Chains A and B, each alone.
Chain A
Amino acid sequence: MSEYTSQELMVAVAAREIDDGDLVFVGMRLPILAYGVARNTHAPTARALFEVGLMRDQPAQGFLATMGDPPNVVGALWSTRMSNLMALMAQGAVDLGFIGGAEVDRFGNLNTSYIGDPRRPLTKLPGSGGGADIAILSRRWVTLMRHERRRLVDRVSYVTSPGHGDGTPGWRERRGLLGGGPAAIVTTMAVLRFPEGGGEAYLASVHPGCSVQDVRDNTGWDLQVASEVPVTPPPTAAELAALRRLDPDGFWTR
């Protein structure tokens, strides 16, 4: 048995995407933990926005099942209406956003709406939430998901949250999207990244215990791979300690 779960590794990897001083649009689920880990390790002056209507610096002291839980209000820097936070993001003030995904394609477009024909879907997913807004307006964003062929697909059939569109250089700029788009896809097996200025995802690192072949076998397109693919550094003791303080019962990470 390993000393950490794959969810804990994802959280640690996501936390490392946060730079000190960043304004982070956090959203729900694992990114709440990732923000807390970053803030308690390498990013002590980061700030967080939660679209329910909150800005804070310190992670909440109590456990959060959602961003709307009362411990997230205690010690908040600002408790307000959602449109005020969207105003900041529309101005380009959000350095990094997190988006949950059901399905992502080689150009980083996310589908969290419909599998199959929207008029009679095979599967109806919950929808955008703030995901589309983050994808279009934040300076860069990261998505987290389980690494499965049915989730990492060649092209999504419905774009809820646009990444790099059709993958041609400058697609976002031509369409008038403000932010820079997806920076990384953090999965249970690997980290995929995108070239500067857009384009197609490539394999940037594989998690401990996974091979490049495992990753390729579980990806729904012919994944580009660098000649040397490093192993994702495992969670440090400090990252794990911070994470387990935030989720003592493993609600999110077991």
Chain B
Amino acid sequence: MAKVMTMAEAVERFVPDGAAVAIGTALEHAIPFAAGHELIRQGRRDLTLIGPISDALFDQLIGAGCVTGVRAAWIGNVSEGLGHCYRRATELGEPHRLEVSDHSNFSISLALWAAAWNSPYLPTRTLLGSDLPSTSSDLEVADGHVRVMPVRPDVAVIHVQRADAEGRAHMWGPLGITEEAGLAAERVIVCCEELVPAEVVLSDPNRVLLPEIKVAAVVSEPGGTHPAPLSGFWKRDSAAYRAYAGRSRDPEGFRDWLKEWVLDLPDRRAYLQRLDLDAIRVRRHRLSVPVDYGDE
């Protein structure tokens, strides 16, 4: 079955209403904004978002009304501060109430590893003495430890530098919790800058991020992380985060932003046409030295 498809098709087929979605798993790096915006365009509802530090994308999905639950360590706008849509949802119930399961970065990683290893829970010393277990259904204090319960995403959405048609992905730069999210998930949507022949990725199997059997869809989506950076391809567009913070401060401003940057655009290609790509494209390339897998 062919895995290569458009973003619209991947989201339509593999992210149903009510799904638990791990997205933005490399923290500020490599956030699949294009996939998030397609979820908004398709009007997904009742999603539970899973992530570590989330940089603005969770806030956008929450403001757009796609989300009723979050299991995450941090939700806001990293270079600007608070997430205004997240605040409106948790403080006022607008546009929906949220069920929040609080995590730290370490505990959400452990929760995903617990699911990946099919373990009933993982005991840890982190979060002892913290109130996080009192506001998280995934954390229990017992026997002098914190038990981190498994969190299993229905789907993990990741963005990588390159992948082949089977979804064998090469990702480099910091990975955050991407590996445990992918292994724990029922299925993975791989978005990539470059769709490459199998021999390219298989020339370096140590760099393959996840087993192909987890990958349900492969989407060629260059520029799909903007305004988040991607090592070797895109700088962070901090001005875009600042503009979003300003416009999302009140609900009307957020709706205008959403209409302009998501709802009125058909796809990522149209989004990119509105940007000065030369200002954010990485141009000083730094290639690694190839390794030798010689066998005889």
Contact = CB atoms under 8 A, between A and B. Distances in A.
Q: A and B, one complex?
A: yes
Interface of A: 28, 50-54, 65-70, 72-74, 79-83, 86, 90, 113-114, 118, 120-133, 135-137, 158-162, 165, 172, 175-178, 251
Contact of B229 (A69, A132, A136): A69
B236 A130 contact: no
B109 interface: yes
A190 B99 CA distance: 39
Contacts of B82: 125-126
A52 B29 contact: yes
B127 interface: yes
Contact of A129 (B91, B104, B229): B104
Contact of A50 (B52, B83, B106, B174): B174
A130 B105 contact: yes
Contact of A133 (B81, B104, B173): B104
Interface string B20-52: 000000111110000000000000000000001
Contact of B129 (A73, A81, A86, A172): A172
Name the 3 nearest CB pairs between A and B, nearest first. Answer: A68-B28, A53-B174, A68-B29
Given A52-B28, A132-B132, A82 B125 contact: no
The residue among A127, A159, A251 with the most chain B CB atoms within 10 A of its own CB is: A127
B246 to A, nearest CB: 16
B238 interface: yes
B160 interface: no
B102 interface: yes
Contacts of A121: 90-91
Contacts of A135: 130
B176 A52 contact: yes
B87 interface: yes
B105 A79 contact: no
Contacts of B286: 74
Interface of B: 26-30, 52-53, 55, 72-76, 78-79, 81-83, 86-87, 90-91, 102-107, 109-110, 113, 124-132, 134-135, 144-145, 172-180, 228-232, 234-236, 238, 241, 282, 286
Nearest to A164: B129
The residue among A70, A125, A159 with the most chain B CB atoms within 10 A of its own CB is: A70
A127 B282 contact: no
B231 A70 contact: yes
A136 B127 contact: yes
Given A70-B232, A74-B286, A86-B105, A118 B135 contact: yes
Contacts of B87: 123-124
Tell me the dominant secondary structure on chain A's binding face: loop
A80 B127 contact: no
Contacts of B125: 90, 136-137, 176-178
B174 A128 contact: no
Contact of B79 (A51, A66, A82, A113): A66
A68 B91 contact: no
B135 A113 contact: yes
A158 B102 CA distance: 12
Given A51-B27, A52-B29, A136-B126, A127 B176 contact: no
B211 to A, nearest CB: 16
Contacts of A81: 175-180
Nearest to B77: A126
A72 B173 CA distance: 9
A53 B176 contact: yes
Contacts of A120: 91
A69 B28 contact: yes
B83 A126 contact: yes
Contacts of A79: 172-175
B124 to A, nearest CB: 8
Given A132-B132, A133-B106, A136-B126, A66 B176 contact: no
22 contacts: A51-B27, A52-B27, A53-B26, A54-B174, A65-B238, A69-B29, A70-B232, A73-B174, A82-B27, A82-B109, A82-B174, A83-B180, A90-B126, A113-B131, A114-B135, A121-B90, A127-B75, A132-B127, A136-B127, A159-B129, A177-B128, A251-B79
B282 A70 contact: yes
Contacts of B172: 79
A201 to B, nearest CB: 17
B129 A162 contact: yes
A142 to B, nearest CB: 18
Nearest to A115: B91
B130 A136 contact: yes
A117 B229 CA distance: 36
A82 B83 contact: no
Given A52-B176, A132-B104, A69 B128 contact: no
A112 B86 CA distance: 14
Given A70-B173, A132-B127, A83 B232 contact: no
B74 A126 contact: yes
A65 B126 CA distance: 28
Nearest to B241: A65
Contacts of A50: 174
